[in-house]
């Protein structure tokens, strides 16, 4: 009965904070959720396209474009544009994914409309001046170079490249030879592939007057002509194992196994299984690899999904002389999970998933991101109550059904370190 009061509060809150939706003629869907008791507002654009929409030989064009877009738009030159964005205290993020580009920000709600006016200029009327292209390219090249100084992050990039069907796994940061060949004219044309308005979403959450917000967005984005996404033709993933020689103090190991994507009915079972395996401090990997054996400081797994394929990805960093043992413990835990999870593990996973859900709700930025992601992957917004019930109805059996599928039967591996991992080389 402890939960009764808070459940009631949740459903009252849900009603007050219902999501309004509008789709503009150009294809942009607008989702807005007013939040009570906050002063901030956040927004998130997800524009379908992304780095996988690029033709061969242009890897990294998305990263370059993402920087170039902010070097002047509409009536503002480069300096004025940044001054305008900074002047309203906007905390902004932009990122490149294989299937979309995203632009978002958080700020005090009274400046939200102004921020979106500026984003209408950036996304619809960027200046993309030729003489400002080179610094954008140089920054992309520098970031690519700097990735070599961070093997832990590079593991992820290389892991996705081998795991996902090409071109979905191509590194969003780019490839050196492609970046060097890119021209301003070509990049300007690629914009049409990199982000499209059909299927695009703008989500906002916070202290927002829904009606006024929708009118404002209609004025800013109502005239956008439709543009269609051309989904890439997929080629088989490389998979297998690849080692990259690296003289560091640790061996960095990345591993990934295929599981159903975000829109699967098994989604919540996957999330629960992933938590039991390597999600929290009581997870099996943390317990067996770190707590019992002291093999690693960092070890864990996460779920990573694109629209059509997904995986459970993991990372472990360890001393070269402990790498084989670490790998062997990790693989045996992946196998052991197939025998099922305990009642206590199920309960912990459920509580963890529920509390993450509610705590994310406290941040307007997490809310806006969740709305946008739901729309992008599911073409609808899951009500909180639906998610709560889906978590609540998880059973050992429903998780077992997921574990009996392709999970853990085939792995993709990458490692950075002085020597390749013997166990994996023998398998190749």
Partner 1 sequence: MQFQHTQLENGLTVIGEVTPTAQSAAFGFFVRTGSRDETSSVNGVSHFLEHMLFKGTEDLSSLEVNEAFDRLGAKFNAFTSEENTVYYAAVLPEYFLAAVELWCRLMRPALRTDDFDVEKKVILEEIAMYKDLPEFQVIDQARQLHFGSHPCANSVLGTEESIGNLTAEQMRDYFRRRYAPNNLVAACCGQFDFDQTCRLIERYCGSWQTMEAGRSLSYFEGTGQQCRQTKEGLNSEHICLMSPSVSMQNPRRYAASLLSLIIGDSTGSRFFWALVDPAIADTAVMQCEAMDGVGIFSSYFRCPARNRQKVLQIVQDIFRELAEKGVSEKELNAAKNKVLSAITIESERPMGRLVSLGFNWVYLKSYRSVSEDVQAVKSVTVDQINELIREYPLHKYTQVSIGPVDAS
* Cα distances (Å, whole numbers) of residue 145 to 178, 180, 190, 255, 371: 14, 13, 24, 23, 34
Q: Could you write out the DSSP letters of every residue in 20-71?
A: EEEE-TTS-EEEEEE-TT--EEEEEEEEEB-GGGSPTT-TTHHHHHHHHTTS
Comparing CB distances to partner 1, the nearer of 150 and 263 is 150
Residue with Cβ nearer partner 1 (142 or 332): 142
Shortest CB 225 distance to partner 1, Å: 31
Which residues, in sequence order, are bridge partners of residue 106?
42, 91
Least distance from C-beta 417 to partner 1, angstroms?
Answer: 10
Which strands make up the sheet holding 100-108, listed edge to edge?
20-23, 29-34, 201-206, 40-48, 100-108, 91-96
Q: Which is nearer to partner 1, 199 or 352 (CB)?
A: 352
Question: Nearer to partner 1 by C-beta: 31 or 41?
Answer: 41
User: Of the candidates 207, 172, 181, 147, which has an alpha carbon nearest to the alpha carbon of residue 17?
Assistant: 207
Q: How far is the CB of 307 from partner 1 (least distance, A)?
A: 29
Which CB, 63 or 381, lies closer to partner 1?
Answer: 63
Helices 343-360 and 267-278 pack at an angle, to 10 degrees, of 110
CB of 413 to partner 1, least distance (A): 19
Q: How far is the CB of 384 from partner 1 (least distance, A)?
A: 11
As a whole number of angstroms, the distance between CA 280 and CA 274 comes to 9
Q: Which is nearer to partner 1, 246 or 423 (CB)?
A: 246
Nearer CB in complex with partner 1: 26/418:
418
* Distances in whole angstroms, Cα of residue 268 to Cα of each of 214, 271, 303, 354: 32, 5, 11, 11
3-state secondary structure of 96: strand
Nearest distance from residue 77's CB to partner 1, in Å? Answer: 12
Closer Cβ to partner 1, 4 or 236, answer by number:
4
Q: Which is nearer to partner 1, 4 or 233 (CB)?
A: 4
CB of 173 to partner 1, least distance (A): 11
Tokens found for residue 390:
């889906």
CB 41 within 8 A of CB 207: yes
Other CB atoms within a 10 A radius of the CB of residue 321 amount to 8
CA distance 428 to 424: 6
Q: What are the structure tokens assigned to 187, written together?
A: 């990049």
Structure tokens at 152: 């832990």
SS3 113: helix
CB of 132 to partner 1, least distance (A): 9
**Shortest distance in whole angstroms from residue 339 CB to partner 1:** 19
Task: Tell the smallest beta-carbon distance from residue 183 to partner 1 (Å).
Answer: 17
Q: Which is nearer to partner 1, 103 or 221 (CB)?
A: 103
Residues 129 and 136 sit within 8 Å (Cβ to Cβ): no
């Amino acid at each position: 009965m402890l939960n009764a009061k808070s459940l009631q509060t949740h459903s009252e809150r849900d009603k007050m904070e219902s999501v309004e939706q509008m789709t503009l003629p150009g294809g942009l869907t607008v989702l807005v959720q007013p939040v009570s008791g906050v002063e901030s507002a956040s927004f998130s654009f997800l524009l379908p396209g992304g780095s996988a929409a690029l033709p061969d030989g242009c890897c990294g064009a998305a990263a370059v474009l993402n920087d170039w877009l902010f070097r002047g738009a509409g009536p503002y030159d480069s300096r004025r544009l940044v001054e305008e964005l900074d002047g309203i205290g906007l905390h902004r993020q932009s990122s490149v994914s294989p299937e979309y580009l995203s632009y978002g920000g958080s700020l005090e709600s009274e400046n939200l409309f102004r921020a979106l006016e500026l984003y209408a200029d950036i996304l619809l009327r960027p200046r993309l001046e030729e003489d400002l292209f080179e610094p954008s390219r140089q920054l992309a090249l520098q970031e690519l170079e700097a990735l070599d100084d961070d093997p832990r992050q590079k593991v992820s990039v290389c892991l996705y490249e081998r795991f996902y069907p090409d071109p979905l796994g191509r590194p969003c940061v780019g490839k050196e030879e492609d970046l060097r060949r890119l021209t301003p004219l070509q990049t300007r044309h690629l914009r049409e592939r990199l982000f499209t308005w059909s299927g695009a979403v703008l989500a906002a959450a916070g202290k927002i007057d829904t009606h006024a917000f929708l009118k404002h967005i209609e004025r800013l984005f109502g005239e956008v002509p439709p543009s269609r996404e051309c989904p890439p033709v997929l080629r088989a993933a490389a998979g297998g194992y690849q080692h990259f020689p690296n003289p560091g103090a640790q061996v960095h190991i990345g591993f990934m196994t295929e599981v159903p994507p975000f829109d699967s009915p098994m989604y919540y079972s996957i999330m629960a299984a992933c938590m039991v395996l390597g999600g929290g401090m009581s997870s099996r990997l943390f317990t067996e690899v770190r707590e019992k054996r002291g093999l690693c400081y960092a070890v864990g797994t996460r779920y990573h999904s694109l629209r059509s394929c997904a995986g459970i990805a993991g990372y472990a960093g360890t001393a070269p002389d402990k790498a084989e043992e670490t790998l062997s413990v990790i693989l045996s835990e992946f196998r052991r999970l197939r025998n099922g999870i305990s009642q206590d593990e199920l309960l912990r996973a459920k509580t963890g998933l529920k509390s993450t859900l509610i705590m994310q709700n406290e941040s307007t930025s997490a809310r806006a991101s969740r709305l946008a992601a739901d729309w992008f992957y599911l073409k609808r917004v899951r009500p909180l109550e639906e998610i709560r019930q889906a978590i609540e109805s998880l059973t050992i059996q429903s998780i077992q059904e997921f574990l009996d599928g392709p999970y853990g039967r085939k792995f993709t591996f990458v490692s950075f370190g002085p020597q390749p991992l013997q166990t994996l080389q023998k398998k190749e």
